[in-house]
Amino acid sequence: MTSTSKRRRSGDTKAAIRAAARERFAADGYDRATIRAIAADAGIDPAMVMRYFGNKESLFAAAAEFDLRLPDLSQVPHDELGARIAAHMITRWDGDETLLALLRAAVTHPAAADRIREIFAAQLGPAVQAIAPDDPVTRSGLVASQVLGLALTRYVLRLPPVAAMDKDAVVAWLGPTLQRYLTGPR
């Protein structure tokens, strides 16, 4: 009965470690998230983490893979782009803590900052290019500044007025901002 024995299969253990790593990196940042703590959360020995991932850097890279899952913006009515992106982003932040782990780690860990730059350049950049060919680079940067600013103040700093807003209020306030960044005059 290998599959039901106390010794989990390799894939299960590896997935458990990755999930625990995501939580710890999201909660504590790169430096404070220790391999010992991650192993304890996963219910295994710290040496197992090293065995499966080699070192802390590789563990972080495996735990911090992320897809914004942006919808096809060319299918969205032109005047609803801002609201749609705002709604999508807040749902994405709430549903997956990987982005939070990346944000927390990026402040002190250059490799995490690189990853965030890659994500926004490779995923948000082309999506904006398709709908706003007039200076899409600057426009996507502005969108990132407001979206990441919301995440920073809401989830990391927990500024009370921002943390207290419900999703509809966030969409109502940020939607027009993103809309102007995407389609407004330069």
Partner DNA sequence: GTCTATAATTCGATAGAC
Partner DNA sequence: GTCTATCGAATTATAGAC
Binding site for DNA (CB under 7 A): 7-10, 13, 33-37, 44-48, 50-51, 54-57
Q: Residue 158: which of DNA, a copy of itself, none does it interact with, CB under 5 to 8 A by kind?
A: a copy of itself
Closest Cα partner for 21 from 80, 104, 95?
A: 104
Which residue's CB is nearer to a copy of itself, number 91 or number 138? Answer: 138
- How far, CA to CA in Å, does 10 sit from each of 7, 13, 17, 46, 181? 9, 5, 11, 15, 47
List the one residue from 73, 89, 116, 132 that touches a copy of itself (CB under 8 A).
Answer: 116
Which residue's CB is nearer to a copy of itself, number 13 or number 140? Answer: 140
With a CB cutoff of 8 Å and minimum separation 6, the contacts of 173 are 165
- Is 139 exposed, middle or buried (CB count within 10 Å of its CB: 0-12, 13-18, 19+)? buried
Query: At which residue do the structure tokens 């994405």 appear?
Result: 92
The footprint of a copy of itself (CB under 8 A) covers: 28-29, 31-32, 103-104, 106-108, 113, 116-117, 120-121, 137-138, 140-142, 144-150, 152-154, 156-162, 165, 169, 173, 176-177, 180-181, 184
